[in-house]
Amino acid sequence: MNPLSSPLLTDHYQLTMLESYLQQGMQETAVFELFFRKLPPTRNFLVAAGLEQALEFLENLSFSAEELAWLKSRFGPALINYLEQFRFTGDVHAMPEGTLFFPDEPILRITAPLPQAQFVESRLINLLHFETLIASKAARSVLVAPGKLLVDFGMRRAHGAEAALLAARAGYLAGFSGTSTVLAAAIYGMPSFGTVAHSYIQAHANETAAFEHLVRCHPENSTLLIDTYDTEAAATKVVTLARKLAQDGIEVSGVRLDSGDLGMHACRVRRILDEGRLEKTRIFASGNLNENRVYELISSGAPIDGFGLGTALDVSSDVPALDCAYKLQEYAGKARRKRSEGKATWPGRKQVYRKYDRPNGRMVRDVVALEKDDPQEGEPLIVPMMRSGRRINGINGKGKLEVIRQQAVANYARLPEPLRSLETAPAYPVEISAPLRALAKQVDDEPSAITSAPNLGA
Amino acid sequence: MNPLSSPLLTDHYQLTMLESYLQQGMQETAVFELFFRKLPPTRNFLVAAGLEQALEFLENLSFSAEELAWLKSRFGPALINYLEQFRFTGDVHAMPEGTLFFPDEPILRITAPLPQAQFVESRLINLLHFETLIASKAARSVLVAPGKLLVDFGMRRAHGAEAALLAARAGYLAGFSGTSTVLAAAIYGMPSFGTVAHSYIQAHANETAAFEHLVRCHPENSTLLIDTYDTEAAATKVVTLARKLAQDGIEVSGVRLDSGDLGMHACRVRRILDEGRLEKTRIFASGNLNENRVYELISSGAPIDGFGLGTALDVSSDVPALDCAYKLQEYAGKARRKRSEGKATWPGRKQVYRKYDRPNGRMVRDVVALEKDDPQEGEPLIVPMMRSGRRINGINGKGKLEVIRQQAVANYARLPEPLRSLETAPAYPVEISAPLRALAKQVDDEPSAITSAPNLGA
pLDDT in tens, A423-440: 999 999 999 999 999 999
- Asked if A102 and A39 count as a contact pair (C-beta separation under 8 A), the reply is yes
Whether residue A448 has pLDDT greater than 70 = no
The per-residue pLDDT for A444 is 85
- For residue B453, pLDDT over 60 is answered with no
CB pair distance less than 8 Å for A194 and B16 = yes
Give the residue from chain A lying closest to B214, CA to CA: A20
The average pLDDT across B289-313 equals 98
Please give the pLDDT value at position A146: 96
State residue A451's pLDDT score.
38
B452 close contact with A: CB closer than 8 A: no
Residue of A nearest to B27 (CA): A203
Residue A40 identity: P
Residues of A in contact with B218 (CB under 8 A): 16, 19-20
**Using the beta-carbon criterion (under 8 Å), do A321 and B315 form an inter-chain contact?**
yes
Picking from A353, A358, A363, the residue whose alpha carbon sits closest to that of residue A419 is A363
Per-residue confidence (pLDDT) for residue B457, from 0 to 100: 30
Question: Is the predicted pLDDT of residue A415 greater than 60, yes or no?
Answer: yes
Question: Which segment of A279-283, A288-292, B19-23, B219-223 scores lowest on mean pLDDT?
Answer: B219-223
- Per-residue pLDDT tens digits for A168-212: 999 999 999 999 999 999 999 999 998 899 999 999 989 999 999
Interface test mutation site (partner B, options A15, A71, A114, A202, max chain B beta carbons within 10 A): A202
- Looking at chain A, the domain(s) classified CATH 3.20.140.10 span 12-135+321-452
Distance between CA atoms of residues B102 and B407, nearest Å:
17
Contact B17 A197 (CB under 8 A): yes
> Which residue from B minimizes the CA distance to A114?
B203
Interface of B with A in 227-286 (CB under 8 A): 227-229, 258-260
pLDDT category of residue A399 using cuts at 50, 70 and 90: low
For B310-368, how does the pLDDT look when each residue is reduced to its tens digit (9 = 90+)? Answer: 999 999 999 999 999 999 999 999 998 777 666 778 999 999 999 999 888 999 999 99
Contact check, Cβ <8 Å, B126/A26: no
Distance in angstroms (rounded) separating the CA atoms of residues B421 and B320: 20
Question: Which chain B residues are closer than 8 Å to A20 by Cβ?
Answer: 196, 200, 213-214, 217-218
Min Cα–Cα distance to chain B from A201, Å: 9
A11–B158 CB contact, under 8 Å: no
Q: Does B205 touch chain A (CB under 8 A)?
A: yes
Of the candidates B153, B427, B126, B192, the one whose C-alpha atom is nearest the C-alpha of residue B294 is B153
Give contacts of A 39-58 with B, CB under 8 A. none
Contact: B3, A162; criterion CB under 8 Å? yes
Q: How large is the average pLDDT for residues A375-404?
A: 87
pLDDT tens digits, one per residue of B148-195: 999 999 999 999 999 999 999 999 999 999 999 999 999 999 999 988
A146 DSSP 8-state letter:
T
Question: How far is A430 from A107, CA to CA, in rounded Å?
Answer: 14
Q: Which of residues 302-341 of A touch B (CB under 8 A)?
A: 311, 315-317, 320-321, 324, 327-328, 331, 336-341
SS (H, E, C) B66-98: HHHHHHHCCCCHHHHHHHHCCCCCCEEEECCCC
Global pTM value: 0.96
B65 close to A (CB below 8 A):
no
| Average pLDDT estimate for B240-250 | 96
Distances, alpha carbon B98 to alpha carbons B46, B121, B186, in Å: 9, 22, 22
Query: Closest Cα of chain B to A276: distance in Å?
Result: 24
Q: Which CATH number is B195-285 given?
A: 3.20.20.70
Cα three-residue angle B269-B273-B274, rounded to 5 degrees: 115
For chain B, say whether A110 makes contact (Cβ under 8 Å): no
Beta carbon pairs, A and B, within 8 Å: 342
* pLDDT above 90: percentage of residues in chain A: 89
Tell me the shortest Cα–Cα distance from B156 to chain A, in angstroms: 4
Average model confidence (pLDDT) for chain A?
Answer: 94
Contacts of A220 (CB under 8 A, 6+ apart): none
pLDDT at position A358 is 85
In chain B, the residue whose alpha carbon lies closest to the alpha carbon of A166 is B160
CA dihedral A407, A408, A413, A415 (to 10 degrees): 130
Residue span(s) of chain B under CATH 3.20.140.10 come to 12-135+319-452
Structure letter (DSSP) for residue B201: H
Among B52, B65, B69, B63, residue whose Cα is nearest residue B18: B63
Residue B3: which of A23, A161, A260 has the nearest Cβ?
A161
Query: How far does the CA of residue B192 sit from the closest CA of chain A (Å)?
Result: 7
Chain B nearest-CA residue for A217: B20
Q: At a CB cut-off of 8 Å and minimum separation 6, what does B173 contact?
A: B47, B49, B97, B98, B131, B135, B138, B401, B404, B405, B408
Looking at CA atoms only, how far is residue B360 from chain A in angstroms? 38
Element (H, E) at A394: none
Positive or negative, the CA dihedral B42, B46, B49, B55 is positive
**What residue in B sits closest to A230 (Cα-Cα)?**
B340
Domain ranges in chain B with CATH number 3.20.20.70: 195-285
Q: pLDDT tens digits, residue range B187-231?
A: 999 999 988 999 999 999 899 999 999 999 999 888 999 999 999
Measured CA to CA, the distance from residue A376 to residue B195 in angstroms comes to: 40
**Closest chain B residue to A127 measured between Cα atoms?**
B160
Residues of B in contact with A14 (CB under 8 A): 182, 194, 197
Nearest-CA distance A237 → chain B (Å)? 13
Distance from CA of B37 to the nearest CA of A (A): 13
Q: How close is the nearest chain B Cα to the Cα of A428, in Å?
A: 25
Nearest one of B18, B21, B13, B7 to B62, comparing CA atoms: B7
User: How confident is the model at residue B337, as a pLDDT?
Assistant: 78
A205 interaction partners in chain B (CB closer than 8 Å): 448, 450
In this prediction, residue A453 carries a pLDDT of 36
> What span, in angstroms and rounded, lies between the C-alpha atoms of A115 and A24?
11
Q: Which CATH superfamily is domain A12-135+321-452 in?
A: nicotinate phosphoribosyltransferase (3.20.140.10)
Site from B5, B15, B16 to mutate, A interface, most A CB atoms within 10 angstroms: B16
Nearest CA to CA, how far is B375 from chain A (Å)? 28
What single DSSP character describes residue A418? G
What average pLDDT does this structure show over B95-111?
Answer: 97
A177 in contact with B, Cβ within 8 Å: no
Q: Which helix (H) or strand (E) holds B287?
A: none
Q: Looking at beta carbons, which residues of chain B come within 8 Å of A1?
A: 183, 186-187
The interface predicted TM-score (ipTM) is 0.95
pLDDT band for position B454 (50/70/90)?
very low
- Taking only residues 214 to 233 of chain B, the set having a beta carbon closer than 8 angstroms to any beta carbon of chain A reads 214, 217-218, 227-229
pLDDT digits (tens, 9 = 90+) for B356-415: 998 889 999 999 999 999 999 999 999 999 999 999 976 555 569 999 999 999 999 999
Contact B159/A229, CB-based, under 8 Å?
Answer: no
So what's the pLDDT on residue B222? 87
Region A235-259: mean pLDDT is 96
Residue B298 has pLDDT above 80, yes or no: yes
pLDDT band for position B451 (cuts 50, 70, 90): very low
pLDDT at A318 over 60: yes
Note the Cα A206 to chain centre separation in Å: 42
Mutate to test the interface with A, among B199, B230, B336 (most CBs of A within 10 A): B199
Interface of B with A in 118-157 (CB under 8 A): 118, 121-123, 125-127, 129-130, 153, 155-157
% of chain A exceeding 70 in pLDDT:
95
Shortest distance, CA B301 to any CA of chain A (angstroms): 22
CATH 3.20.140.10 fits B12-135+319-452, yes or no: yes
| H or E segment and range at residue B35 | strand B29-36
Report H helices in A157-250.
161-173, 182-188, 198-203, 207-217, 231-246
For residue A6, the chain B residues in CB contact (below 8 A) are 183
pLDDT of amino acid B1: 87
